[in-house]
Amino acid sequence: MQTNSVKSESYSGEKDKLLRYTLRGNAAFSAVSGVIAILAAAPIAAFMGLASPLILLVIGVGLLPFAFLVYKVSTMTAVKPLFAKEILALDLLWIAGSLAILLVDWPPLTTNGRRLVAVLADIVAVFALLEFVGLRRLQQD
């Protein structure tokens, strides 16, 4: 019986592996993006056609605690589905916000700025999809 217990524990560890690795990737991507947004706010703002780098500084500063929290969730002994769902919801909000920027064209961006917003939203969408699949795996018997 003790062997079955060990097997079920390692099986549950397998069930959350995709979610755990996805969250770690999301945390790393968010941290790197935050640091780049802070350190290169002015040249990125010019590249995107933004009048001021302030919004990039705010986004960069906001991404750092997000990245830290996502990483902390990924290192929990058992990933809590509620926390992962909240992260997924925030990723979906990022995607929706990016789509709104592209559809409304506010702020007005250069073609390269629009491409950057789209590419970043696509990357976040990949994380969101993998988080969704990882959460579904946790719910399987």
99-114 tens-digit pLDDT: 999 999 999 999 999 9
Global confidence as pTM: 0.89
Residue 6 is predicted with a pLDDT of: 39
* Count of C-beta atoms within a 10 Å radius of residue 7: 10
CA 62, distance to chain mean position in Å, is 12
Confidence of residue 141 (pLDDT cuts 50, 70, 90): low
Domain range annotation of the chain = 15-139
13-43 tens-digit pLDDT: 789 999 999 999 999 999 999 999 999 999 9
Residue 7 is predicted with a pLDDT of: 38
The mean pLDDT of the chain is 92
